[in-house]
Amino acid sequence: MNPVIVLVRPQLGENIGKAARAMLNFGLTEMRLVAPRDGWPNPSAGPAASGADVVLENAQVFDSVAEAVADCGHVYATTVRKRGVTKPVVTPETAAGEIRGVPERSAILFGPERSGLETDDVALARTIITVPINPEFGSLNLAQAVILVAYEWSKGAELASPPATDLDPPAPQEELEGMIGQLDAMLEQLGYYFPPHRVPVNRRTLRSLLTKPGWTSQEVRTLRGVFSALGGKKAHRKV
């Protein structure tokens, strides 16, 4: 069962929208809002969500954290500091594994942008989620915090990978030989192969260079077109 993302007293509609975008990127759709400062719905949230409208449209609003998590058997509070509350502290990765391993619904609390969760909010949770962070600058914005947790959840959620782009097949060896032969003839005409005792080594090096990348037929045709154009320009200058 996917965890519920609970934004506690969020301040800006833009940040709610960005959090919704982060959620949907990683397969989470259920957002609950506790006493949003500017009310709900908020017209600033939609543009910031960049298409994650399903999360915003289904968002539920509650007056208190206790009401927002009343149906959840496991509640996690995200905070950099323990805030004087003695509770188990885990990373987002560990929390994701725990959530996947229980049948009850889980909720993850995120505090307001300015100050994070208050001690009373954290007290309602059973576990604290925190991340290793620069002790001299431990400030994450709301969407960053959500995306850290959502990403760890997604790693075990079997989300579909981005569609792969099919690559053109490698060119047949015959086409490569034709390209190499064309270049070899041009270089021979230009007197490139000198001194004579270096000719085998130079030809071998060029062959290795031209066969190493795995050219496609289109790439071979393009390069041979370049060779032809270069040869034509040389002939034109002689005239």
Q: What is the pLDDT of residues 65-100, one digit of tens each?
A: 999 999 999 999 998 765 566 789 999 999 999 999
Q: Which token pair is 98? A: 């725990």
Q: What residues does 113 pair with on adjacent strands?
A: none
What is the CATH classification number for the domain harbouring 125? 3.40.1280.10
Q: Using 50, 70 and 90 to split pLDDT, how confident is the model at 164? A: low
Q: With the C-alpha atoms ordered 79, 85, 87, 88, is the resulting torsion angle positive or negative?
A: positive
Q: What three-state secondary structure class fits 31?
A: strand
- Cα separation values, 77 from 83, 84, 104, 212, Å: 11, 13, 17, 53
pTM over 0.75: no
Q: List the single range of 74-88, 129-143, 160-174, 224-238 with lowest mean pLDDT.
A: 224-238
Please give the tally of structural domains in the chain: 2
Mean pLDDT on 213-228? 79
Same domain, 117 and 187: no
Mean pLDDT on 45-68? 95
Q: List the single range of 35-39, 142-146, 187-191 with lowest mean pLDDT.
A: 187-191
pLDDT for the residue numbered 234: 47
Contact 42, 48 (CB under 8 A): no
Same domain, 143 and 185: no
Same domain, 90 and 142: yes
Same domain, 129 and 189: no
Residue 155 CA to residue 94 CA, distance in Å, equals 12
Same domain, 146 and 53: yes
Same domain, 33 and 144: yes
Same domain, 142 and 72: yes
Same domain, 25 and 110: yes
Please give the backbone phi and psi of residue 52, each rounded to the nearest 5 degrees, phi first: -85, 50
Same domain, 18 and 76: yes
Tally of CA atoms within 13 A in the half-sphere of 165 that contains its CB? 2
Of the residues 90, 121, 154, the one at which a domain ends: 154
In a domain, 159, yes or no: no
- Cα separation values, 164 from 24, 160, 161, 167, 205, Å: 21, 11, 8, 9, 34
Q: With the C-alpha atoms ordered 26, 32, 38, 41, is the resulting torsion angle positive or negative?
A: positive
Who has greater pLDDT, 165 or 238? 165
- Cα separation values, 117 from 11, 52, 167, 199, Å: 13, 25, 49, 74
Same domain, 103 and 130: yes
In a domain, 227, yes or no: yes
Residue 55 CB contacts under 8 Å (≥ 6 apart), including other chains: 20, 23, 24, 28, 29, 30, 31, 49
Of the residues 154, 189, 207, the one at which a domain ends: 154
pLDDT for the residue numbered 65: 96
Assess whether pLDDT exceeds 70 at residue 236.
no
Who has greater pLDDT, 198 or 75? 75
Same domain, 46 and 98: yes
* Helices 173-190 and 217-238: angle between axes, nearest 10 degrees: 20
Residue 10 CA to residue 22 CA, distance in Å, equals 15
Q: Which domain holds residue 131?
A: 4-154
Who has greater pLDDT, 136 or 73? 73
